[in-house]
Each structure stands twice: as C-alpha cells, then as structure tokens.
Structure 1
Amino acid sequence: MPPPRDSSPERDYRPRRQSAQRRSRNSSAVRNSDDNGERGERAGREPRRRSRRPEPGTSVPPITRGEPRGESSNGSSATLSAAALAQLNKQNAKRKASPKKERARAKPPRVATVESEDEYRYAPSRRPRDSRDAARDDRTRPKPRMVPPDSDDEYQYLTAKKREERARKRAPAMESDDEYQRLTPHRRTDSDDKGYRVVDARPDKPKSYERLRPDNRAGEDRSRLRVASGPMLEQGIRARNVSGGMLEKGGFMARFQNLRGGHGGPSMSSSSGYESVDKMSDDIGSSPPKKKRKKLWIAVGIGVVIVIIIIIIAVTVSKKKSDDGDGKGSNDTPSQGLGDISPDDIPADAPTWLNPFKWADTTDFNLTYTAQTVGDLPVMGLFSQWDDSKAANDQVPALNKPWGDYSKRPARGVNVGGWLSLEPFITPSLFAYDLRLGIVDEYTLCTHLGSRCESVFEKHYATFVTEQTFKEIADAGLDHVRIPFSYWAVQTYDGDPYVFRTSWRYLLRAIEWCRKYGLRVNLDLHGLPGSQNGWNHSGRQGYIGWLNGTDGDLNAKRSLEIHNRLSKFFAQDRYKNIISHYGLANEPKMTFLSVDAVLQWIEDAYALVRKNGVKDAIVVFGDGFRGLANWQGELQDLGDGAALDVHQYVIFNTNQIVYKHHDKIKYACEGWTEQTELSMDRSRGYGPTLVAEWSQADTDCAKYLTNVGWGNRWTGTLLTGSESSDVSTPRCPYTDSRCDCIAANAPPDQWSDDYKTFLKMFAEAQMYSFEKGWGWFYWLWDTEDAYQWSYKKGLAAGVLPEKAYQRDFNCDVSKIPSFDNLSEAF
C-alpha cells in the first residue's frame, strides 16, 4: 500500500547529506562513548532504519543512525578496511550514474536525520523496527506517512496521489472536514485489508480509504462480485450514496444506472461489470460529470414529454368514445337484464331511444324490443302486467280505489323538479361554466355540449332520481308526486338542441316506481314549444314565443299536438288509476301574454284531453299570476274536472321577502288561508284550487335561484337587465348593508334551534293553509345544495313533520313566537 499523507507541512523527504563537521562530531561522540550505543537502546524510542541491500556477492554490514562508521550494529568496534571503503565508494559512484529505478534496486535507502520528537514518532519508516512495532500497529495512531521516493513503491504512491487530486477537483468545495466526510461516505474509516487503501491519515482526523480496483486485489474472487441490475449492489460492494439515497432502491442514480446498464447500456455483470461499478463509484462523488448530467436531463425531459403525449392521446380517445354511438357515451353504468336478449334482435336502423343496448340504465325495464306505439308514442320498456293494489300509507286508499273528494282529503305531494326539466338552482353543477359563455338554461347548455348533450343528460336522468327517491317519498307520509317534464320528451323541432325522447323513457319508468309505492302522479308539462314564460325552467330563458311573436300561434298549435299524443297514451287502462292530475301548461305568464288567447288555448286543450280518453284525471292549468280574484267566472264550463294551479312564495315578492320570521308565519296562516278560501269559492274565484308549488325558503339567496348570474333581492343585487324588475336595495329585514346570504345558505347542521323552529312552523302553516283547497305539492324533493328548498334535507334536519299528515302547529296565531333573536338578523 502507498504511504499515507501526513497533515504536517510538506517536507523534503530525500535524505539530507550531513555536513563534514556534523559527521566528525557524531563519529567522535560515538568513539568516546563507553556504553556502545546506549542511546539506541532506550525503551520504545530507538529509531528504526531500513538496511541497504548490498550488491550481490558483497557482505557490506548495515549502517544505522547512532552507529559510527566501521562499527557493527551489535556494538563491536570492527573497522572497515580500506578495500571495503574503496568498494563502497565505487558502488556509490556507479549508482549515481545509473537510472533512477536501477539505483533503487541496487542500493539501500538513504537515511534522513530525525530532527524532532514528532518526526521521530510519525516517520517510523526511517527508524529500525523492533519487536514492539507489531503492538504499535494495532493502536489507533496514524499509519506511516510515506517512504522515500526512490523506493519501489514510488510509482504506486504517485498514482494514488494523482487519483486523489483528480477526485478532489471533481468534488465540490467543502467548507469543513465534516462536510467532506459526509459527502464522501465511501471513504470509510475501517480496516485497510478489505480492498481499500489509505488516502488520508492525519493525527487529528480519522483515516479515509479508497476502493482498490480488482487488479490490486490479490486473490479476489471476481465471479462473486457480480452487480445486480438497478441500484442493488451485491456481495459487499458499496457504491457512493450521495445526497441521501441516489444509489438506494428507487433513487435517482439507481434509475440512471438502470438506463445505462438495464436498458441497452453497458453490462454490469462479471469482470467488466465490476469495473463499471468501480468507475461509477469513483465518478459519483458529489455529482455526475456535466456531460452525463446533461444527457440524463435530456433523457428525463424526453420521458416526461412522452408521458404527457400518452395522457393526451388517452383522454382524447376516451372522450371520442363517449361521443360515439349516436351521440351517446351513456354506457357508463352497467346495464341489467341485457343478457336475456341478443343484439341481433334489435333492427339495425332502430333509433337510440328504442335500443336498450345504448341505454345508460336498464333497471326495471322490459328490455324486449318493440316498435309499438300508442298515440304515436313508443311503449318503451313497459311490462304488460301491473299492480295497482298498493297504497302510499294507511291514511289514503290504494291506487285501485277511488280517492274521493279532494276538498275533504287533500293531496299531500312533492315535486321531483330539476330532473326531466332542468333548473339551474336545483343542479348548479350542470351550469358551472364561465358566465361569459352564456349558459343559463337547457337550451344554451345543450347548444354548448353539442353531441355530448345526450350522454350528459342521460347520466343526470339515471342518477338524480332513482327508485329510492319514490320509496323515501312514500315513507315521508306523502301520497302524490308531481313530475315536471318538457315537450322534447315527445317531439323536437328544427333548431332545437334538446335531447329527443330520452326523458320519455325515464318518465314512464318513474310512473311505474310510483305505482310500486302507491303514489299517485301529477303529470306536469313544464316546458312548451316557444316557452310560455321566458324563464329558464321552461327550457329557454328570455323570449316568450308561445302565443306571442312571429311563431306564437304555431307554437300554440304544436303544444296542442303534444297534448293530443300525450292524452292518447295516458288514456290507456294502465294509467287510469295512477294518473290523478294532468297538467296543461306550467306557469303561463299571463301578466305578459294575452289573457283571452291563453284562456282559449286552455279550453281547447281541455276538450282535446277529455276527447282522447283521459276522463278521471283532474286537468290542471296555471293561474298565470293574474290574481286569484280575477279568475272568478272564468272557464266555468269546465266543471269540477278541472282545477286552478297556484304557486305561493314570499321570496319572489319584493314586498313580502322583507317580512320578519314572525310575520312570515302569520302571513302564511292568515294571508294564504284567505286566498285559498277565496279561490275555492266560485262566487269569488275560480273554484277548485290546489297549490302545486311552495317551499320553506325565506330568502332568495340560493345560487342561480333568480337566474344564472342575476344576484338576489335579499342583498339588493338583482340585476335582470330591466330597470323595472331590478332590485338594488337590500330586502332582508335590515334593508341595509347588513343583509347577507351567509346564514341563509348555511347547511342544516349550522342552523340554530330557533331557526329550525321557524322553518318547521313556517312549513306547517303553509300546509294548513293549502289544505283549505285541494291540497299541495312541495317544491321540491331534493336539491344539490339549496337546503331550504329540499323536502328530503328538511326531514333530515327536523324542520318538517315526520309524516306529512301530522302537524304540531295548526295556525293558532297566538302561538307564533316573536323570534326576537332572529327578527333582526332575518
């Protein structure tokens, strides 16, 4: 092994020639001494000296420091002869003239004088060894520093020194020896007999070692020093681990090595593999060379680009598949029952809405293909048998029994709104677009979605309302369900972007689920051709094209055609018991439209429905917001088979939304009770009246309730685009800047007990009032997050009676709390 490097200042380790005066002084001192080398026998301090190797055939005695020339090492005083001195001088002259390596072989090393105790201790190579040296070697003292450069080890020493200098240049600057040791963990401080050599040995620092190459390991079995692919170095080989794990499993350099050796790079097995690892061990140090780092980052960058391209392609292909198949990507949910039929049973030209293999949901449908129609409407997925023996609860008769007089047994129902006719505030997630896109209703949404509209809508149809919905409605003590749907379930026209006829299938299945739980159905045509009110829930917000404008009469005629087909279909015996109410038009805006034109259309539609066989269902038409007293004497010829549909809310009335909680309950008990009784009296109003929409909401803060992006009355931010309908003054009870929607939009678990008391009392007051007529239908069963509008969420929060026919409050006004702690806040 090459000599270690001392931490002391650099010295000239070439033997220095003694001056003639010093040699004379030393010689005379020794000759005058009687102890024959006593100085060289002091315990533990006698310097060792390597003997010179004499020329072959000579017997020149060794010369040691402390011995006079001409005296033997055992203390005898034998003097060299003149012939021996002449021969020695001749050999010295010969060595001077010979090459350096020849001199090293031919002569013993020259001796340097030990000038101090430290040099004596840390330069043991220049003093003779004795029996105590073996014990010293085991101590934790620095290893010998170096041998004279003229020795045979000079080549190895210089080579190691050059390697060390190269490694030092590659490594980053170290601020301290601790950092040097931390960043070069391969420089181990253990035995130097396991394939390492000392590269650093100083009195005040631990030794550092460098791995020997296989050629320097005599007798090493290279076959067992194979290297596994990747970062796992086997059989005791330890590569440098820089920055905490670059060569550990999964580390950065391990992956780099995989690229080099495991993916087409140089092999890392056998002897060549060992050399690769040894080179890698030397190269890693603190960081890879710049060229390797550059190649590495290029490879990583290419890999990232490839991954991004693959992801984009996968997303594009997936999106394309979802758009294929007649615009349907609706097979996202598993279909049931399709194993009983074969695709070969479906005609090749069958439309999507008749092909069950393209339906998103087939649960509870008869999947036997049929093109049969009734009233020119398809019998889609209907079983030929049905059972009307179920009753919703023990308070009402079964479906196959007459209901009786609604004025004595009022309907207690709920709407499944926002399902087959979209309304943004019910499902705001479907309208989560940038306002600048102008997506505000079903028309603009389908226009934006294009070919994707059918798959998006059918997913909504299949998930927003399910069989569980109707089971929960019956469990809540309700007995009727109002199902809003729009004309495109039956027919579409040129320019319509709506999804044609998909909602028709879900409407028919919903009726069958109502039958299963004994619930009677109120069919509600919520959107008519051209829009009868210009509100988003009619399909298209803005322009009213029904009985108005260029196509007003055409759209009125189309609406009658829709009812002609609907009434023929629902005149079947199948629907005789379950269809209790048949709605003609939801909320026609008679404050804008011609009253006479609307009344004439109602008369025509009523006659058509009755003519086509719908005889038992109550035909319903909207009050048109013209005031209940104004209906006195209107449409009296229709008889008791028709009913006026009234919708009662305080929040859409600028003068009523400002009421405090006490006043809202009082108004429900007194004001709405008075209005219902007036309308039921033919001498003062129309006659048979039911309230098909109402809620517990006392603010209009719900997102998109007043239209997408319009603001609300509660905070005075309602901007309709018309000064006559804008509300710029806050209409909460404060009527100032303290009005906000935070509490109003909070989830039920954050409602105070007093607020829950108000909500429940407000609901029961309305139930009491509307049961003075032919009953009520709460708007609506469930929403995404408009909590005050959801009957389901109200039940869970305890702000509605557990059963719809049970009430704790029956409008005794004296029992209405003052709600002082809430009256100012709301």
Structure 2
Amino acid sequence: MVGNLPIVGLNSTWDDSKQANSNVPPLSKPWGPYSVNPIRGVNLGGWFSLEPFITPSLFDYDASLGIVDEYTLCAHLGPKKAAATLEKHYATFITEQDFIDIAAAGLSHVRIPFSYWAVTTYTGDPYVLGVSWRYLLRAIEWARKHGLRVNLDLHALPGSQNGWNHSGRSGTIDWLIGNDGPANARRSLDIHNQLSTFFAQKRYKNVVAFYGLVNEPGIAIPQGQLADWTVSAIKIVSDNGFSGTVTFSEALRGLPAWQGELQGYGNSLVIDVHEYVIFDPNLLVFDHTKKVSFVCSTFEDQIKASMNTATGFGPTMVGEWSQADTDCAQWLNGIGNGARWAGNFSGKTIPYCPTGNGQCSCALSNQPVSSYSTDFKSFLLSFAEAQMSAYETGWGWFYWTWKTESAPLWSYQAGLRGGFMPPVAYKRAWSCSSSVPDFGSLPEYY
C-alpha cells in the first residue's frame, strides 16, 4: 500500500526508454517547454467514468426506470451485478491495442478520466469500489510501454461537482456548495492526499506528466471559493512530492475570468479549458465555414491571450474538444433531453441549426460514417485541423474522446478509420494560417 492505496501487482522495475513517436522525446528524457513542443493527445473518456452517449449499451433500459448515470445504473444492478458489469466494461472497452493505435496516430499524451470510487466510497454510495483502480494502474503501464505520457483527470468528485452525468450523479451540485458541500470538499482533499502520495512514487515521475484536480466544476460555485479549494489541493499535491504539472479547470467561466488568479506557480500549474461550439446556441447556428473561421480567430485569440500573464492566466491547455458540429449524438445532453440542433432540447422548440427550420433534423447528423459525403469529410478534416492549429498556440490539446460505441464525431478512432482525421497528428495539410477551404455543396442543415 502507498497512500493507503494498493499497488495490486505492479512490477518492481519499469522501462522508461520508449517514445511515442520520433517527433517527441522518450519518457526518460525531459519533454522541454510545452509552449514549444505542444501536447497532441486524446482522452479515454467513458472508460472509468461512464457517459451514456459514449457507451449507450450500458444504459439501454426502459426510461421509466430512471437509469441516467452511473449512480442510478449501479443502484439498479445491485453490488454483485454492477461489479461484474463494470469489470467486463473496464476489461474490454479500452485495451492495450488502443494505446498502440494512439501512439501510431502521432499522439503523445493520454488524458485518463477516473472517478473517486476508484479510491473510496461513502455511506449510501452504490458505486463499485476499487475495481477501476486496478485498470487505471494497468492503463498507465500500457501508456509507459508505448511511450505515452499521462494526464490523470479526477472526473467525478464526492457530491458531484457539476450535477452532470459524467460526474457520476445527475442533479444538484453538492460539492463546495450545497448541504454536504463543505464535507465533500474536505473528502476530495483527502482523496488528493492519497492519490498524490501514490503518484509521487519514483515509478510515475516520467510517465504521469499532469495531475488534474477536478473536471469542470459547475459555474454555480463561487469563483473565490473554488480558487481557495484549488490552493489547498495544490499544496497537498506539492507537499506529497508530486513533481509533474497540476491542472485546474477554468470552470465553464471562460479563460479571461482567470486573468491574474492563482499566480506564482510558474509552469507547475496549467489552466485547462474545454472548447466546444455546440453547447452554445449562438455558436451552434454558425455555418460550416464560420465554425472553422471562429476557431481560427476567437478560440486562437483566447488561447494566445491566456498564455500571457499580462492578459491571462499563463500556461494554458485544451483538455477537451471534438469534431462534432451538432449536439445530435444520442444522449449527449443526457438521456431523454433531446438536442438544441433539432429544437427539442429540454422542452425547447427553436432549432439551432444554421437554417433554423424543419430541415434541422438529427437524422442526417447521426448517419453512419459510410454515408458521409466527400464534402462533409472535407469539412470535418478542416474543422479538426483548425482546432489542432489554434490550440497548439498554447500548451496543446486532448481530443474528446478516443472511442465511442456509436457517436463517430466524438471518436478520434472513427475519424482515423473514416478518413476525416489527419492520419498522423503532427503532419497536417492545413492550418489556421491558410484560407478556409470551400466545402462544395454541403448543406448547412447537415
């Protein structure tokens, strides 16, 4: 046990000589400035922190049962069946072959979201305790074997930090704020005490490059309160000897909100922003050309401004982004919530696709990859390359996500197989310094 967490069969020796590709140093050598050699990475979303849109097969129940997140799924299955179901998922959804393929795609880092029940559970929790911990450690060793550096991402905290399904339990925020918010904030610090003690071990020095404190805390949490908790968490991680870079979320506020905040940490602290154009109706209605142009202007300018401590926070990475240009993927907005694109999101009736009329159907957006037109693939490739180009003006990026069951516009793997993702991440034909291509006769409601 280290940090009261089990080593569970790890070898006593390890090999850090591997490099993900010839464009980056091996694990045993310093990476150098990320502002010069940016991250090109991918998330392993939906593996240790379930999301219905990534693995809808796990949530295929009658709506009357109310199974909408990992909490309600585990409560419905019961301890024994939940453990068996999740063990099978952990063992099969992501395997070593995925790490091989990630490295072959010219990627250098993996962000691994995991949930607090990898470490502990509390009275009343139905979650499966500890099983994902074994697979998390296995994942890190697979990353090491193939030269990939790791960004640990604590994706679900006690009480739910944002009230969304990927925090474990949909509903209200009970972290920092809420009846049990202060208690859950202390519990989270205790979890970081365990985790940072464990990952301060010498064996992780070269492979665990980033340590995430909390994923997407809700905007309802006062910024000052969140900043104070973040300072406490950073101190725990630092005092325990973790030598990598700590990441904190911009917390859905936008990068400008953190200008001048949490200063004095240099390159040991990086802000993590998630860039999407599909959850804001004002951006969702942009046509294909404007979406690409927006990335190369507004998003890129925001990253550049944030990188400068005179105008922003300082070190900045994009921890999530995707090629999705609609919010149509099944259950993306939560089970039964509909889509903004089609005008049926949470009771709304206005469609937010560029044509703004009855043509705004999710049926077209959810076609199989085999039905994608040449013009649509051209757009998707340009949209991806624009974002890669823009985000590399900071410390780089992590795509969301590597694999899905049936949402190809959220799957880096599907993009590679379908021909709408650069075959090698660091060899791209287009960048934001070029003019936006013509997407031919691609309909704006597609």
8 Å Cα contact 1:695-1:779 kept in structure 2: yes
What secondary structure sits across from 1:556 in the alignment? helix
Shift of 1:737: 1.3
Alignment pair present for 1:508 and 2:137: yes
The residue that corresponds to 2:427 in the other structure is 806
Q: Tell me the SS of whatever aligns to 2:283.
A: coil
Using the size of structure 2 for normalisation, the TM-score is: 0.98
| Matches of 2:431 and 2:266, distance apart in 1 | 31
**Aligned equivalents of 1:823, 1:603: Cα separation in 2:** 49
Query: Which residue identity does 1:440 align to in structure 2?
Result: V
State the Cα deviation string for residues 573-601 of structure 1 (Å, max 9, x = none).
00000000000000011x20111110000
User: Which residue does the alignment assign to 1:379?
Assistant: 7
Corresponding residue for residue 442 of structure 2: 822
Matched with 1:583 is 212
User: Are the aligned partners of 1:486 and 1:526 in contact in 2 as well (CA < 8 Å)?
Assistant: yes
Which residue of 2 is the match for residue 754 of structure 1? 375
Q: Distance in 1 between matches of 2:150 and 2:130?
A: 20
Q: CA deviation at 1:813?
A: 5.0
1:174-200 Cα distance to aligned partner (Å, 9 max, x none)? xxxxxxxxxxxxxxxxxxxxxxxxxxx
Which residue is 1:66 aligned to? none
Q: Which of 710, 714, 718 is the aligned partner of 2:341?
A: 714
Partner residue in 2 for 1:678: 305
**Whole-Å separation in 2 of the counterparts to 1:467 and 1:811:** 34
Residue from 158, 180, 184 that aligns with 1:555: 184
CA contact (8 A) 2:289 2:436 kept: no
The one of 21, 24, 31 equivalent to 1:403 is: 31
| Percent identity (aligned) | 57
The structural deviation recorded for 1:490 is 0.4
Contact kept, 8 Å, 1:658 with 1:731, in 2: the verdict is yes
CA contact (8 A) 1:661 1:823 kept: no
CA–CA distance in 2 between the matches of 1:824 and 1:520? 39
**Are 2:154 and 1:525 equivalent residues in the alignment?**
yes
Q: Secondary structure at the match of 2:414?
A: helix
Q: Is residue 622 from structure 1 mapped to residue 249 from structure 2 by the alignment?
A: yes
Contact 2:293 2:436 in 1 (8 A): no
Superposed displacement of residue 822, structure 1: 1.9
The equivalent of 1:701 in structure 2 is 328
Question: Residues of 2 paired with 1:529 and 1:381: CA distance?
Answer: 28
Does the CA-based 8 Å contact 1:423-1:441 persist in structure 2?
Answer: yes
Alpha-carbon distance between aligned partners in 1 of 2:440 and 2:420, rounded to the nearest angstrom: 19
Code of the aligned partner of 1:628: L
**Corresponding residue to 2:292 among 651, 660, 665:** 665
| CA offsets 1:368-425 (integer angstroms, 9 cap, x no match) | xxxxx00110110201111000000000000000000000000000001000000000
Deviation at 1:506, TM superposition (A): 0.1
| Structure-2 separation of matches of 1:415 and 1:772 | 20
Query: How far apart are the structure 2 equivalents of 1:537 and 1:640?
Result: 29
Q: After alignment, is 580-589 or 633-642 more displaced?
A: 633-642
Aligned-residue offset at 1:814: 2.7
May I ask how many residue pairs the two structures share in their alignment? 445
Q: Which amino acid aligns with 1:514?
A: A
Deviation readout 1:91-143 (Å, 9 max, x if unpaired)? xxxxxxxxxxxxxxxxxxxxxxxxxxxxxxxxxxxxxxxxxxxxxxxxxxxxx
1:612 aligns with 2:240: yes
Counterpart for residue 454 of structure 1: 83
Mapped to 2, the partners of 1:727 and 1:511 lie a distance apart of 43
2: distance between equivalents of 1:662 and 1:815? Answer: 7
Q: How many Å separate the matches in 1 of 2:36 and 2:443?
A: 36
- Which fold has the larger relative contact order, with Cα–Cα distance below 8 Å and residues 6 or more apart in sequence? 2
Partner of 1:436, secondary structure, is helix
1:820 Cα shift?
5.3
1:422-571 aligned at under 5 Å gives the runs: 422-450=50-78, 451-571=80-200
1:791 matched to which residue of 2? 412
Q: 1:651 aligns with which of 275, 278, 283?
A: 278
Q: Which residue does the alignment assign to 1:775?
A: 396
* Kept after mapping to 2: 8 A contact 1:666/1:816: no
Q: How far apart, in 2, do the equivalents of 1:637 and 1:404 lie?
A: 20
Structure 1 match to 2:356: 735
Matches within 5 A, 1:247-286: none
State the alpha-carbon separation in 2 of the partners of residues 549 and 815 from structure 1: 47
* CA deviations over 1:427-468 (Å, ceiling 9, x no partner): 000001111111000000000000310000000000001110
1:120 alignment counterpart: none
Matched position secondary structure for 1:484: strand
How far is the alpha carbon of 1:816 from its aligned partner? Answer: 2.5
Shift of 1:825: 2.9
Structure with greater Cα Rg: 1
Asked whether 1:597 is paired with 2:225, we answer: yes
In 2, the alpha carbon distance for the partners of 1:613 and 1:740 equals: 52
Residue 98 of structure 2 aligns with an amino acid whose one-letter code is: T
Moved more, 535-544 or 631-640: 631-640
Measured in 1, the distance between the counterparts of 2:181 and 2:425 equals: 41
Query: What is the Cα deviation at residue 823 of structure 1?
Result: 4.2
Q: Is the 8 A contact 2:338 2:344 kept in 1?
A: yes
Residue 569 of structure 1 aligns to a residue whose secondary structure is helix
How has the CA–CA distance of structure 1 residues 815 and 729 changed in structure 2, closer, same or farther, with 3 Å as cutoff? closer
The answer (yes or no) to whether the contact 1:660–1:823 under 8 Å persists in 2 is no
Question: Pairwise mapping of residues 259-408 of structure 1 onto structure 2 (< 5 A)?
Answer: 373-408=1-36
Q: Give a deviation string over 1:202-221, Cα, whole Å, max 9, x none.
A: xxxxxxxxxxxxxxxxxxxx
Q: Secondary structure at the match of 2:36?
A: coil
Letter in 2 for 1:548: I
State the distance in 1 between where 2:429 and 2:294 align. Answer: 18
- 1:662–1:823 CA contact under 8 A, matched in 2: no
Q: Is residue 666–residue 813 contact of structure 1 (8 Å, CA) maintained in 2?
A: no
Residue by residue over 1:259-284, the C-alpha shift from the partner in whole angstroms, topping out at 9 and shown as x without a partner, is xxxxxxxxxxxxxxxxxxxxxxxxxx
> CA offset at residue 748 of structure 1?
1.2
Q: Deviations over 1:294-334 (max 9, x none)?
A: xxxxxxxxxxxxxxxxxxxxxxxxxxxxxxxxxxxxxxxxx
Which AA in structure 1 matches 2:124? G
In structure 2, the residue matched to 1:744 is 365
Q: Which sections of structure 1, spanning at least 5 residues, go unmatched?
A: 1-372, 720-725
Partners of 2:35 and 2:425 lie apart in 1 by 17
